[in-house]
A and B are shown apart, each in its own frame.
Chain A
Amino acid sequence: MYVYIIRRLAVAIPTILILVAISFALMYSAPGGPFNSERPLPAQVMANIEAKYGLDRPVIVQMADYVWGVVTRFDFGPSFQYTDRTVNDVIAQGFPVTLTYGAWSALAAVVVGVSLGIAAALRHNSVLDYFAVGVTIGAQALPNFVMAPILVLIFTLWLGWLPGGGWYGGDWEYVVMPVIALSTSYMASIARITRSSMLEVMNSNFIRTARAKGLPMHRVVMRHAIKPTLLPVISYMGPAFVGMITGSVVIDIAFSTGGIGQFFVNSAFNRDYSVIMGITVLVGMLTITFNLLVDILYAWLDPKIRY
Chain B
Amino acid sequence: MAKHANPDADILDEVQEPVNEQVKGRSLWADARDRFFKNKAAVVGLIVLFFVTAFAIFGGLISQYEPQTVDFSLMGAMAVNGSPSIETGHYFGVDFEGRDLYARVVQGTRVSLMVGVVGALVAVVVGTLYGAIAGYLGGKTDDVMMRLVDVLMSIPFMFVLILMLVIFGQSIFMLFLGIGLIAWLDMSRIARGQTLSIKNKEFVEAAIATGVRPLTIILRHIVPNLLGIVIVYATLLVPQMIIFESFISYLGLGVQEPSTSLGALIRQGTQQMNNGTLWMLAYPLFFFLITLFAFFFVGDGLRDALDPKDR
- Which of chain A's residues have a CB closer than 8 A to the CB of B153? 287, 291
Residues of chain B whose beta carbon lies under 8 Å from any beta carbon of chain A: 147, 150-151, 153-156, 158-160, 162-164, 166-167, 239, 243, 246-247, 250-251, 263, 266-267, 270, 273-274, 281, 285, 288-289, 292-293, 296-297, 309-311
Contact check, A246 vs B158: say whether CB atoms are below 8 A apart: yes
- Which of chain B's residues have a CB closer than 8 A to the CB of A250? 247, 250
Asked if A11 CB lies within 8 Å of chain B CBs, one says yes
Contact check, A284 vs B167: say whether CB atoms are below 8 A apart: no
B163, B270, B296: the one contacting A145 at CB < 8 Å is: B270
Q: Closest 4 CB pairs between A and B?
A: A141-B292, A30-B167, A246-B158, A283-B156
Given contacts A140-B296, A242-B156, could you give 6 more A-B pairs where the C-beta distance is less than 8 Å?
A11-B150, A19-B154, A137-B297, A142-B289, A153-B274, A280-B160
- Given A12-B154, A15-B155, A283-B159: A143 and B247 interface contact (C-beta under 8 Å): yes
Asked if A26 CB lies within 8 Å of chain B CBs, one says yes
Asked if A245 CB lies within 8 Å of chain B CBs, one says yes
- Interfacial residues of chain A within 211-250, with CB under 8 A of chain B in the complex: 242, 245-246, 249-250
A29, A146, A196, A265: the one contacting B281 at CB < 8 Å is: A146
Contact check, B166 vs A18: say whether CB atoms are below 8 A apart: no
- Interfacial residues of chain A within 7-66, with CB under 8 A of chain B in the complex: 11-12, 14-15, 18-19, 22-23, 26-27, 29-31
Asked if A299 CB lies within 8 Å of chain B CBs, one says no
Contact check, A26 vs B159: say whether CB atoms are below 8 A apart: no
DSSP class of B's interface residues: helix, strand, loop or mixed? helix
B250, B297, B310: the one contacting A196 at CB < 8 Å is: B310
Asked if A288 CB lies within 8 Å of chain B CBs, one says yes
What are 14 inter-chain pairs, A to B, with CB distance below 8 A?
A: A11-B147, A11-B150, A19-B155, A27-B167, A30-B167, A31-B167, A138-B293, A141-B296, A143-B246, A143-B247, A149-B270, A242-B158, A250-B247, A280-B159
B150, B160, B288: the one contacting A26 at CB < 8 Å is: B160
- Which of chain B's residues have a CB closer than 8 A to the CB of A23? 160, 163
- Interfacial residues of chain A within 178-206, with CB under 8 A of chain B in the complex: 196, 199-200
Q: How extensive is the interface on chain A, given as a class?
A: 35 or more
Contact check, A141 vs B293: say whether CB atoms are below 8 A apart: yes
Asked if A276 CB lies within 8 Å of chain B CBs, one says yes
- Which of chain B's residues have a CB closer than 8 A to the CB of A143? 243, 246-247, 250, 263, 266, 288
Select from chain A the residue with minimum beta-carbon distance to B303. A196
Asked if A269 CB lies within 8 Å of chain B CBs, one says yes
Give a binary string over A239-268; 1 marks a CB under 8 Å from any B CB, 0 the rest.
000100110011000000000000011001
Give the interface centre of A140, A146, A249 by most chain B CB atoms within 10 Å.
A146
CB distance from A21 to the nearest CB of B (A): 11
Contact check, B159 vs A141: say whether CB atoms are below 8 A apart: no
Give a binary string over A123-152; 1 marks a CB under 8 Å from any B CB, 0 the rest.
000000000000001101111011001100
- Which of chain A's residues have a CB closer than 8 A to the CB of B281? 146
Select from chain A the residue with minimum beta-carbon distance to B285. A146
- Which of chain A's residues have a CB closer than 8 A to the CB of B263? 143
- Given A141-B289, A149-B273: A14 and B151 interface contact (C-beta under 8 Å): yes
- Which of chain A's residues have a CB closer than 8 A to the CB of B288? 141, 143
- Which of chain B's residues have a CB closer than 8 A to the CB of A276? 163
- Which of chain A's residues have a CB closer than 8 A to the CB of B309? 200
The distance in angstroms between the C-alpha atoms of A287 and B152, with both chains bound, is 11
- Which of chain A's residues have a CB closer than 8 A to the CB of B163? 23, 26-27, 268, 276, 280
The distance in angstroms between the C-alpha atoms of A288 and B152, with both chains bound, is 10
The distance in angstroms between the C-alpha atoms of A146 and B267, with both chains bound, is 8
Contact check, A246 vs B166: say whether CB atoms are below 8 A apart: no
The distance in angstroms between the C-alpha atoms of A153 and B273, with both chains bound, is 10
- Which of chain B's residues have a CB closer than 8 A to the CB of A199? 311
